Structure 1
Amino acid sequence: MEPAALRDDMVASLEHELKGGLVRSESVSLALRTVPRHEFVPLEASDGAYSDQSFDHRGTRILAPSTVARLLEALDVRETDSVLVVGAGVGYTSAVLAEVVGEENVHAVDITRTIVYEARQNLSSAGYGGVFVDCRDGADGLPEYAPFDRILVEAAVIEPPRTLVEQLRSDGRLVLPLGGGTQKLAAVERTADGAPEIEREFGTLSLAPLLVDGEQSDTIERNRTDREDREFAERHAQTRRGWEHDWIDWDGYGL
């Protein structure tokens, strides 16, 4: 079956009531039907490019179409909006946004340099080379291009990063998963005094946490848990010297 037909089937499934009507707006529907998702998945996963599944790839996750649909419907982009995507990944979400607002209005950042290079290549191959992708700490946003009408964070945080909220226009919207274990997809607005305020929630979601410097997928120690485990092991080793077993009271055994 031709990719265009596969995309039509994919979107029709996401629009269906049994899927919860995840795609509701005409702009998101048309964009998902247009962007060649097979350009953004690794070759070994290309057969499933238009199935509703995610893929792990080089330390990042290629989001399932249903997840992308939920994020974009919550973001509620308007034509010509200036958009920032935090967590560029392989570039697919940015490409879908480019179909709605235009390539020149989409900016994306990712903390992992190799992922940035791949996102740029994928976007160029798919015909969206005008999307700006840079290697940045996502929590810092992209102040040179602020303010933004919409900011989308494709990673979980405990609370909205104040820097990102400050880069919103007064009537802008920040969409991100909030929470640790159980996350809630939330739309955040900027109040008159610049503080974040949750305007609406869109159910639960499960995305990886927003990485900080030193946890990139192309560093030796990416995961903060792994790093903490190593540090604990080193401290523990320094406190244990010589005979390590507890003293056994042999008299208690009747010997």
Structure 2
Amino acid sequence: MDNSVLRHDMVDGLEESLDRFPDAVSVAMRSVPRHEFVTDGPYQNRPTEHRKTNTTILAPTAVGRLLSALAVEPDHDVLVVGAGVGYTAAVIAEIVGDSNVHAVDITRTLVYEARENLQRAGYEGVLVDCRDGADGLPEYAPFDRILVEASAVKPPRRLLAQLADGGRLVMPMGVGEQTLVAIEDGDVAEKFGPLSFKPLLVDGEQTGSIVRNRTKREDPEYEGRGWHAGHGWEQDWIDWEAHH
């Protein structure tokens, strides 16, 4: 079946299943060729695992929920933390313009892939850089909207500092049980129900890297005890150079 037909069928299903699904998001998802970003069942409403990294490619439903909460408007400057394969950034670019979208990912393999996917799909103006997500992209701040495609117990302070006045940050917040929230002026402004994501990582935790995180390197027993382990960016660091 033609990809455009499959794409419209996918979005039709989202319109029926989601309580909130703005027209702008619907139009954008009907326009972005998801098959340029996802090769395994691109128009099936299910998450898939990236073939090279320990990364989940979001189901269309999750993308729709995130962008409904984000409430982007034309000409907004937007930062996507967790670029992944680039699909979410492309949908946002359809609404705000590709030169207004910036994305970061901690996994270099995904950064290269996202750049290639976005260029092939016609969104070459989207900037994708390899960074710790909690650091954001201060060189291009402030942002009207920040979308964090990873969970944390609370919003990283450096991301909040990069919001423009009146800006909004959307992320799954919590450990174990997570809730999709919108943060405005430092506080939770809206809640959008449960949504479970992998934790926001820091350098040393991504796939294929040298493990430098304290709990992974020194406390394997503590790490294995349950929900409190492996939360990502908020974990403690050790200055390894000072311990030689």
When normalised by structure 1's length, the TM-score is 0.82
Instruction: Determine the structure 1 residue equivalent to 2:24.
Output: 27
CA displacement at 1:41 relative to structure 2 = 1.4
- The answer as to whether partners of 1:186 and 1:202 remain within 8 angstroms in 2 is yes
Q: For residue 21 of structure 1, report the CA deviation from its aligned partner.
A: 3.3
Q: CA deviation digits over 1:177-226, x for unaligned, max 9? A: 10010100000012xxxxx1110000000000000110012315499875
Task: Tell me the amino acid that sits aligned with residue 218 of structure 1.
Answer: G
Residue 127 (1) aligns with residue 122 (2): yes
Question: What is the aligned counterpart of 1:206 among 191, 196, 204?
Answer: 196
Summarize the alignment of residues 30-45 of structure 1 with structure 2, pairs less than 5 Å apart. 30-42=27-39, 45=40
Q: Take 1:151 and 1:20, find their aligned partners in 2: how far apart are those partners?
A: 22
- Structure 1 residues 99 and 222: CA distance shift in structure 2, 3 A: farther
Point out the more displaced range, 222-231 or 203-212: 222-231
Distance in 2 of aligned mates of 1:77 and 1:150: 7
* Uncovered stretches (5+) of structure 2, i.e. residues with no partner: 224-244
**1:159, 1:178 within 8 Å by CA — same for their partners in 2?**
yes
Residue number in structure 1 paired with 2:8: 8
Contact 2:8/2:30 (CA < 8 Å) preserved in 1?
yes
Q: 1:14 to 1:22 in 2, by over 3 A?
A: farther
Q: 1:209 is paired with a residue of what secondary structure?
A: coil
Q: Give the match for residue 42 of structure 2.
A: 49
Unmatched segments (≥5 aa) in structure 1: 191-195, 234-255
Which residue identity does 1:151 align to in structure 2?
I
CA distance in 1, matches of 2:197, 2:212: 16
Report the equivalent of 1:81. Answer: 76
Q: 1:199 to 1:229 in 2, by over 3 A?
A: same
Shift of 1:59: 1.7
Q: What is the rounded CA distance, in whole Å, between the counterparts of 1:30 and 1:174 in structure 2? A: 22
Instruction: List structure 1 runs of 4+ shifted beyond 2 angstroms.
Output: 20-23, 220-233
Q: Percent identity?
A: 61
Cα offsets for 1:99-139 (capped at 9, x unmatched): 00000000000111111011101111111111000001110
C-alpha RMSD of matched pairs (Å): 1.9
Residue 79 of structure 1 deviates from its aligned partner by 0.4
Q: Does 1:184 align with 2:179?
A: yes
Q: 1:74 to 1:229 in 2, by over 3 A?
A: same
Aligned to 1:251: none
Question: Are residues 1:159 and 2:154 paired?
Answer: yes
> Partner amino acid for 1:93?
T
Q: How does 1:62-81 map to 2 (within 5 A)?
A: 62-81=57-76
Distance 1:224 1:89, change over 3 A: farther
State how far apart, in whole Å, the 1-side matches of 2:47 and 2:218 are.
28
